[in-house]
């Protein structure tokens, strides 16, 4: 892409920026993602620094972050890995719920992206940033999104989540009896996923209790054991029977709620713009 075309697209984005509503900001973010995807890394770098990973968050920048992780993830993971992790972690802790929620979604995209660094030391800060979000009393949708991310990432790549069970399990468990049904259901699904209950029944949970779970407060440990025996194993059996009825391992693919979870994680701005595409 020549410099004139690039400048025209950037100008179009800036023209709408002053009084843009959420839908326009999302459209502009998708346009920026498509633009960066078609630029050489050295040219894309200046746009990333100024519009995707700035020192101060804006709604446009967190939408752009999600758009790049969707359309051109290697631009961030290969050239701005450290900065991307730092931005996601700081954003999750933002008092601006729009920024925080979209950075939770960005965390999910990062974990699910093939080119991202998934080593223990890299993933730990992101998961640590999610822990305060999971505490009872935090904004409901932020908590639900964090549980959705953990469940989906665990299902897709348990090696990311398994080393962090000491950190995650108590925080997830704190939500499984929540009175708000979407939170309760998301926590149940995340609990089953991180302990691989559907496939491994109690094997992972037993290993957790013999390891990091041994340090849990006695009341928490007893409560978690009771929940696992009375609820988690039953839910795991139901899910296993449902899968087998659909044709065994893999069945008919992801269940509807799993598809909805993935669709939400891969969204930009959580607004469905239909079939709009900026692909060539």
Mean pLDDT for each consecutive 10-residue tract of the chain (280 residues)?
A: 69 67 87 88 88 90 96 94 96 95 97 95 97 95 96 95 96 96 96 95 95 94 96 92 69 68 90 42
The pLDDT value given to residue 271: 45
201-206 contacts at long range (C-beta below 8 A, 24 or more positions apart):
201/233, 201/236, 202/228, 202/233, 204/162, 205/232
Q: How many helices (H) and strands (E) does the chain have?
A: 17, 0
* C-alpha to C-alpha distance for 144 and 156, rounded to whole angstroms: 18
φ, ψ dihedrals at 17, nearest 5°: -70, -35
The pLDDT value given to residue 248: 52
- pTM over 0.85? The answer is yes
The answer to whether 97 and 63 have CB atoms below 8 angstroms apart is no
The pLDDT value given to residue 85: 97
**To 10 degrees, what angle do helices 218-227 and 165-173 make?**
70
* C-alpha to C-alpha distance for 41 and 49, rounded to whole angstroms: 12
User: Which residues does 102 contact at the CB level (< 8 Å), separation at least 6?
Assistant: 62, 63, 65, 66, 91, 269, 270
The pLDDT value given to residue 17: 64
The pLDDT value given to residue 162: 95
The pLDDT value given to residue 270: 65
> How far apart, in Å, are the Cα atoms of 184 and each of 24, 130, 150, 262?
34, 17, 14, 19
User: Which residues does 39 contact at the CB level (< 8 Å), separation at least 6?
Assistant: 1, 6, 47
Largest CA distance in the chain: 66
CA end-to-end span of the chain? 12
User: Which residues does 183 contact at the CB level (< 8 Å), separation at least 6?
Assistant: 140, 143, 144, 147, 175
Cα 60–Cα 74–Cα 162 angle in degrees, nearest 5: 95
């Amino acid at each position: 892409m020549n410099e004139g075309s690039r400048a025209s697209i950037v100008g179009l984005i800036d023209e709408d920026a002053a009084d843009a509503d959420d839908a326009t900001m999302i459209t502009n973010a998708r346009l920026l993602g498509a633009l960066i995807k078609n630029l050489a890394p050295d040219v894309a770098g200046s746009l990333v620094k100024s519009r995707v990973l700035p020192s101060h968050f804006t709604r446009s920048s967190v939408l752009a972050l999600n758009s790049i992780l969707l359309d051109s993830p290697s631009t961030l993971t290969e050239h701005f890995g450290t900065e991307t992790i730092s931005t996601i972690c700081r954003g999750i802790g933002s008092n601006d719920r729009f920024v925080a929620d979209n950075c939770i979604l960005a965390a999910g995209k990062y974990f699910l992206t093939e080119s991202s660094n998934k080593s223990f030391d890299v993933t730990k800060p992101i998961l640590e940033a999610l822990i305060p979000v999971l505490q009872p009393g935090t904004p409901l949708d932020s908590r639900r999104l964090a549980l959705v991310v953990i469940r989906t990432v665990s299902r897709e790549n348990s090696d990311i989540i398994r080393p962090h069970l000491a950190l995650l399990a108590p925080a997830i468990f704190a939500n499984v009896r929540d009175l708000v049904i979407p939170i309760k259901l998301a926590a149940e699904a995340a609990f089953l996923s991180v302990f691989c209950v559907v496939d491994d029944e109690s094997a992972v949970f037993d290993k957790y209790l013999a390891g990091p779970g041994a340090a849990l407060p006695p009341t928490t440990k007893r409560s978690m054991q009771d929940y696992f025996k009375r609820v988690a194993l039953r839910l795991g059996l139901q899910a296993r029977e449902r899968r087998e009825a659909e044709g065994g391992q893999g069945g008919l693919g992801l269940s509807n709620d799993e598809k909805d979870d993935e669709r939400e994680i891969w969204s930009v701005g959580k607004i469905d713009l239909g079939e709009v595409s900026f692909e060539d």
